[in-house]
Structure 1
Amino acid sequence: MSESVLLSHLDNGVLTLTFNRPERLNAFNPALMRAFADAIKDAAANPEARVVVITGAGRGFCAGGDLGGGKSAEKSPEAAVAPARPRAPDSLATRIDWLRRNMDATRLLFEMPKPTIAMIRGATVSVGMAIAAACDFRVVSDNASFMTGFAKAGLSGDYGVSYFLTRLLGTAKTRELMFLGDRLKAEEALRIGLASQVVADDHLEAATADLAARLASGSPIIQRYMKQNLNAALEMPLPASLDLEATLNVLSAQTNDHKEAVKAFMERRDPQFTGS
């Protein structure tokens, strides 16, 4: 029996989810779509996971949807042991519903109240672009490449790619990437703001671990409020954003973590946050 299509590892507050279809450059098939949706839901609710890292096994992050994987690509240990689930009759409506349920993974990734990091090497295409853009940080190998890929596949786009790329890169650059589908190298991704940092490939894991450790040492409750402010700022008018900031900042001041931060500052040491 083959390995799981998605690996999960929790260490010192850092939860790493690894797409595990390296023979297909981690292209999404139905089994991986379902596994990723379930794993993101669990990660968002897991208090022990202070930071979530998304990456791909082998030499690619995610090469998009598996257009050529065939029916056999859906088989996995999870599918083999899962109880049979009743299926609705196949129709356009049920296909839309099924895709939409799986696509909710990127909404949860974007909204979860904790920092998220995409650790990227190699090919990052279509759904891979959406997942990377939904994360708070993208640590990128110098061998990585990015391409929306939808236009060349005769598809309009899914997994929130339009939403996330527009907010990350702006409407003009996103339209260029979506309509033309040109491949971006790592340095160009850094220049336009798609990559948070670019590092040598042999330093990718270490650079990501350093960033994840810094984030994991922060206050979970303050990071939650901070991310709530930042996400709301994408949609809210200024007065509503100011209202939210005022509310969450006053709530922050009541936490034990704020008191610990003040005490640590006075004692000239690093604070030890507990999330309370």
Structure 2
Amino acid sequence: MHTASPRPVDTGTEELQCEVRERVAVITLNRPQARNALSDRLTPALRTMIRVCGDDPEVGAMLITGAGKAFCAGGDVKGMGDADTRRERTPEERILDLQDKQRRLTGAIVALRKPTIAALPGPAAGAGLSIALACDLRIGAASAFISTGYARIALSGDYGIAWLLTRLVGTSRARELMFLSERVDAGRCESLGLFNRVVPDDQLPEASFAMARGLANGPGTVFGHMKDNLDDALALGFEEALDREAVRLVESAMSEDHFEAVRAFVGKVASPPTGR
């Protein structure tokens, strides 16, 4: 079977790499020497790629990962305590700027109606953890771990960390993870529901891409409806969610994806494999 060659996407910086392969946009944070910490070049490029790949009809799923042995260490702590930098803008200006930046990063990932996967080859902390949590699914290497990290530098959290954690692990565990800022290994991340799967380190690229490729070539409109239903489950009462679910089911039932899937399913049932 012919497989199309990967299509590189220009991100504008070497700190972020992107290619579209078999309908999967593979976005790689590429600052391995800094554990892929966010920077003034990497972060704007990441915001742009989320938008560009989200709008690209040739992209069916998005896979975000990190180069080397880390996913993302979060923000650059070295520049955070600069008093001169803090005086350059008023608190109101800084608030508005952060609100805008958050909406165009983790906010954009959550709003994306295509499946999103984070593949963690190593640690994710702070805002880097928020990026992973904003994705629909997370696959961790066995050596990966997470830490909220904010308490260690006396910050309350950003990029949706509290909202995302609370919905994934519940309010009690979210408080534990935020207050203690402990290192949580891959096994416990899986048991808490932070990681969907844990695989051996050397299998992470193949396993995460295989999952993304399967989703990218699946019924895209239906996945969008599923994401709407799952979002409604967190925000609406049962009857209103039920009514909206009915609308989306009927729309799905009228789609060509549904007709093709039914034909394929019936064909498999009608022609079971023969044994010797």
Matches of residues 138-177 of structure 1 in structure 2 within 5 Å? 138-177=138-177
Residue deviations 1:174-213 (CA, integer Å, cap 9, x gap): 0000011111011010111111111110111111122112
2:258 is aligned to 258
Structure 2 counterparts to residues 221-232 of structure 1, below 5 A: 221-232=221-232
Q: Distance in 1 between matches of 2:47 and 2:158?
A: 14
Q: Are 1:194 and 2:204 an aligned pair? A: no
| Matched-pair contact (CA < 8 Å) for 1:132–1:138 | yes
Task: Report the TM-score, using the length of structure 2 for normalisation.
Answer: 0.87
Question: Pick from 5, 15, 19: which aligns with 1:5?
Answer: 15
The alpha carbon displacement at 1:223 in A equals 0.8
Structure 1 residue runs of 4 or more that deviate by more than 3 Å after TM superposition: none
Counterpart of 1:45 (choices 52, 55, 63) is: 55
Alignment RMSD, CA only? Answer: 1.6
Report the Cα offset of residue 3 of structure 1: 5.1
Return the match for 1:63 from 45, 54, 73. 73
Q: Structure 1-normalised TM-score? A: 0.87
Tell whether the 8 Å contact from 1:111 to 1:231 is kept in structure 2 after alignment: no
Question: 1:128 deviation in Å?
Answer: 1.4
> Which structure 2 segments of 5+ residues have no match?
1-11, 81-87, 270-276
* Counterpart amino acid of residue 68 in structure 2: G
**What one-letter code is carried by the residue in structure 2 that aligns with 1:166?**
T
Q: Give the match's secondary structure for 2:235.
A: coil
Map residues 1-276 of structure 1 onto 2, 5 A cutoff. 4-68=14-78, 90-104=89-103, 105-268=105-268
Between the two proteins, the alignment pairs up a number of residues equal to 250
Indicate conservation of the 8 Å contact 1:122/1:141, yes or no: yes
Q: Distance in 1 between matches of 2:109 and 2:22?
A: 20
CA distance in 1, matches of 2:53, 2:42: 16
Percent identical across equivalent pairs?
Answer: 39
* SS class of match (1:30): coil
3-state DSSP of counterpart to 1:118: strand
